[in-house]
Amino acid sequence: MECRARPRVEPPPGLPPGAASDVVEETFLLAGHTVRMLRPRDDDALLDELLAEADQDEDRLPFWAQLWPSGAVLAREVAGRCLAGRRVLELGSGLGLVAVAAALSGARVLAVDRSPEATTFTAANATRNGLTVQTAVCPFEQPERLLAGAPWDLVVAADVLYEQRNVPVLLWLLPRLVTVGEVWLADPGRPMLARFLAGVDALGWRREHTEPDPSGVAVHRLRPDTAAGSSGRRPRHPRGPATGR
Local structure of residue 136 (DSSP, 8 states): E
- Residue 23 counted as domain residue: no
HEC states along 65-133?
HCCCHHHHHHHHHHHCCCCCCCEEEEECCCCCHHHHHHHHCCCEEEEEECCHHHHHHHHHHHHHCCCCC
Distance of alpha carbon 238 from alpha carbon 132, whole angstroms: 33
- Residue 233 counted as domain residue: no
Model's pTM, two decimal places?
0.88
Distance of alpha carbon 34 from alpha carbon 8, whole angstroms: 18
- Tell me which residue range forms the domain holding 161: 64-223
In this structure, are strands 108-113 and 134-137 parallel, antiparallel, or unpaired?
Answer: parallel
As beta bridge partners, residue 33 has 30
The torsion angle over the Cα atoms of residues 227, 192, 112 and 61, rounded to 10 degrees, is: 180
Answer whether 19's CB lies under 8 Å from 13's CB. Answer: no
- Residue 32 counted as domain residue: no
Q: From first to last of its 245 residues, what are the pLDDT tens digits of the chain?
A: 555 556 678 887 888 788 888 899 999 999 999 999 999 988 888 778 777 776 656 667 888 999 999 999 999 999 999 999 999 999 999 999 999 999 999 999 999 999 999 999 999 999 999 999 999 999 988 999 999 999 999 999 999 999 999 999 999 999 999 999 999 999 999 999 999 999 999 999 999 999 999 999 999 999 998 755 555 556 666 654 343 34
- Residue 243 counted as domain residue: no
- Residue 146 counted as domain residue: yes
Into how many domains does the chain fold? 1
- Residue 177 counted as domain residue: yes
Answer whether 121's CB lies under 8 Å from 92's CB. Answer: no
- Residue 31 counted as domain residue: no
- Residue 180 counted as domain residue: yes
At residue 213's C-alpha, the angle toward residues 200 and 35, to 5°, is 100
Q: What is the CATH number of the domain that holds 93?
A: 3.40.50.150
CA 231 centroid distance within chain? 28
pLDDT for 45 equals: 84
Cβ neighbours for 110, distance < 8 A, ≥ 6 positions apart: 87, 88, 89, 90, 133, 134, 135, 136, 146, 149
Distance of alpha carbon 222 from alpha carbon 230, whole angstroms: 13
